[in-house]
Amino acid sequence: MPTLAGKRALVTGGSRGIGAAIVKRLAREGAHVALTYVSRKEQAEETAAVARSHGGKSVAIQADSGDIKSLVAAVQRTVSELDGLDILVNNAGVALIAPFDEYRLEDFDRTVEVNIRSVFVATQAAVRYMQTGGRIINVGSCNAERMPFQGGSVYAMSKAALVGLAKGLARDLGPRGITVNNIQPGPVDTDMNPAIGEFADSLRKLMAIPRYAEPAEIAAMVAWLAGPEAGFVTGASLTIDGGFTA
């Protein structure tokens, strides 16, 4: 049987890139999967359709992770549509890069809202429905440990915050049989961070394996953390970066 047969999952920011790969991989492993999106409805529906092709349920829910009410409503709708919730993947994120002297306060606030606050809000809403064996998986970044270019201080801060949050939540939720982990991808080939161009070339020079990851490689680690073999892993930040931080 698939490793996640019958499990119910919610992936925030699941319409494209890493999020879409996670949705598809969880569905392939037998899970029913809801996903949130902000504006690209057609793309989100296409991702949900691929997920359903594996035989389970899937629903695309419009919700901005920076909006507390819509995010909590997305959790509640997931529970209603899928008859429960076992896995939450906090994948939604923003990367607003600018020189420090020019960094706008509104961009700082948006980064905190989406990259940190939404993880707290969605997790708090989700665990009200989770039973023993529940999984919280946050998608952080290797930039929490290494920021090799200028303009990324606020982004790095937001991803470093997830390391501490995962450790604390592991203590809070461990007695309830719910694990909490953080994965830290390195450069991944997506439309937001393509593997072609001067910026990509500069990052490859810093890596032990000089290539960008495919989204499916990140999704594979998420699927493992969501599955039964990872039941004793909690409070961890697992790096998958091709040696970017080595």
CB contact at 8 A, 182 and 143:
no
Q: Could you write out the DSSP letters of every residue in 184-234?
A: EE--B-SSSS-SSSHHHHHHHTT-SS-SPBPHHHHHHHHHHHHSGGGTT--
Tracing tokens 């599955």 back to the chain, one arrives at 227
SS (H, E, C) 114-137: HHHHHHHHHHHHHCCCCCCCCEEE
Q: Which residues are catalytic?
A: 155
